[in-house]
Structure 1
């Protein structure tokens, strides 16, 4: 990558839905979609990409990823859960997400407290990503000589390979935790 700082900046890693972004009043589905589209507009890969659609929300509801909606309106709690699904769906299956959010869908669970913790950790993850990206970029620069033929291509390929490898490592770790959660819930039922 010629300029890793530009790459990091172009990702708009500071775009995420906070508790303060979520209105106190209940929203209709179109309003939920608009909220997500506004908040994540800069993160889209291209103009055609959709952040959230009616079909996605309906599939999440059918998959019981969040508790039932009343009068076609989504509460603040629904929106927090949809936000977490939105973040997890690129790495985990819908079935895995359902397992992870099972207890959070209980009306006695402190979802707002969890979501605030999620916000804090997400912010730390962004900072960690920036630091690690700079480190990976430096390692790639060491591996590819500046006088090599196809130097830029080799650097870009190594960056893509490194990022996808890290993504796979994190996804596999998340899947292991999901399996442990499922085992824990199974043993409680027995």
Structure 2
């Protein structure tokens, strides 16, 4: 499965915004977009796909996914939050992302001792572990699919292998998404019970 194999091998060097990628100075929106486009360009499915646009950023701001900007500039904390939003939006609704990040935004604005960089660094560390686990699990899933596809006629096996793998990955993705949504629900319940 050529492209899939290339993708899995390419995960050894994931596209992520690292703490070193973010300048110490605040950035204007166009600079933020350029940073994300440069960093995530290899993760695009095609050339027409946009990583981040002005409309997206404005929608995130209107939905209060991050604390207000000052003087039309985005701080390092804003960029870290936008990076988290970028990662979360593939699995969660905008409202769920808002609920997830609400406490962080409050800590940033109300608690001068909170270090978002430390949390983000932990996220990057977990991401590395997740990639290794994913690569291992993909190999297992492919082995399981190959066993199942042997039941079918040989001339259809290549196509059916892809269909079964797509269905398997979609199912697993849905399970993880639902688990994440349940945790968001817990955050909401805990906040409402205070």
Q: TM-score, normalised by structure 2?
A: 0.92
Aligned to 2:141: 136
Aligned to 1:31: 31
3-state secondary structure, aligned to 1:178: helix
Q: 1:175 aligns with which of 169, 178, 181?
A: 181
1:56-98: CA deviation from partner (whole Å, max 9, x where unpaired): 0000000000000000000000000000000001111111100
**Does residue 9 of structure 2 align to residue 9 of structure 1?**
yes
Aligned to 2:18: 18
Greater CA drift, 11-20 or 78-87:
11-20
The Cα of 1:33 is off from its aligned counterpart by 0.3
The Cα of 1:144 is off from its aligned counterpart by 1.4
Aligned to 2:120: 115
Q: Aligned equivalents of 1:185 and 1:103: distance in 2?
A: 9
Give the 3 Å change call, closer, same or farther, for CA 163–126 of structure 1 in structure 2.
same
1:120-162: CA deviation from partner (whole Å, max 9, x where unpaired): 0011111111111111011111111286231101100011001
Greater CA drift, 139-148 or 172-181:
139-148
**Partners of 1:144 and 1:151 within 8 A in 2:** yes
Aligned to 1:61: 61
**Does residue 187 of structure 2 align to residue 184 of structure 1?**
no
The Cα of 1:112 is off from its aligned counterpart by 1.1
Q: How many equivalent residue pairs?
A: 188
Aligned to 1:162: 168
Aligned to 2:159: 153
Q: Which runs of 5+ in 1 are unaligned?
A: none
Q: Aligned equivalents of 2:51 and 2:159: distance in 1?
A: 30
